[in-house]
């Protein structure tokens, strides 16, 4: 979980989904497997951009229908409960689904202008919300989520 930028006050955040002992995540699963520890926000700002990388996936090539949308829910801790503040809908693509159905890889998906407001003291956490359709993908694992957060108003 780290941050490094050339612009004082901005924040770069990296988290893992489906890793850390969680071997795989059902692509249709909702908040049941795969998530990140919350992190405390230092200064008011916005989540501006986000990327998602899928380490590997189990795919049935004959059933694969692109594009596939994977959703990551962004939550704020409300001290005793949590509140969904936005969904990150990543479109993942694989131009050449592997014949090896357990090791297909996907291109990193990038979202810009997310513009989710965050405030000092917020505990932000993200959970895998899966896909609404099977699209021939049964399992994903090693998901890596990066949030680019900036102090101040949206840019």
Residues binding another protein (CB under 8 A): 1-13, 20-22, 31, 35-42, 75, 77-82, 120-121, 123-125, 127
| Integer angstrom CA distances of residue 40 from 11, 70, 125 | 12, 25, 9
Q: What's the CA gap between 141 and 71, in Å, rounded?
A: 14
Cβ proximity to another protein, 31 vs 112, nearer residue: 31
Cβ proximity to another protein, 81 vs 96, nearer residue: 81
Nearest to 79 by CA among 127, 135, 128, 121: 121
CB of 73 to another protein, least distance (A): 10
Cβ proximity to another protein, 13 vs 59, nearer residue: 13
Supply the DSSP symbol for 18: S
Cβ proximity to another protein, 39 vs 90, nearer residue: 39
Residue 7: Cβ-neighbour burial (10 angstroms; 0-12, 13-18, 19+): exposed
CB of 152 to another protein, least distance (A): 13
CB of 63 to another protein, least distance (A): 30
Cβ proximity to another protein, 44 vs 105, nearer residue: 44
**Contact in structure between 25 and 139 (CB atoms under 8 Å):** yes
CB of 98 to another protein, least distance (A): 28
CB of 69 to another protein, least distance (A): 23
Antiparallel, parallel or unpaired: β 123-130 and 68-77: antiparallel
């Amino acid at each position: 979980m780290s941050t490094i930028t050339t612009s004082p006050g901005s924040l770069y955040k990296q988290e893992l989904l489906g890793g850390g002992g969680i071997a795989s995540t059902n692509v249709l699963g909702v908040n049941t497997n795969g998530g990140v520890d919350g992190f405390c926000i230092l200064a008011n700002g916005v989540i501006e951009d986000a990327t998602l990388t899928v380490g590997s996936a189990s795919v049935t090539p004959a059933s694969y229908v692109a594009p596939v949308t994977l959703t990551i829910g962004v939550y704020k801790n409300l001290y005793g409960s949590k509140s969904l503040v936005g969904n990150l809908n990543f479109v993942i693509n694989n131009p050449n689904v592997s014949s090896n159905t357990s090791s297909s890889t996907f291109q990193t998906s990038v979202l810009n202008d997310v513009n989710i407001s965050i405030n000092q003291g917020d505990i932000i956490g993200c959970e895998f919300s899966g896909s609404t359709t099977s699209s021939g993908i049964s399992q994903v694992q090693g998901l890596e989520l990066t949030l680019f957060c900036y102090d101040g108003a949206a840019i």
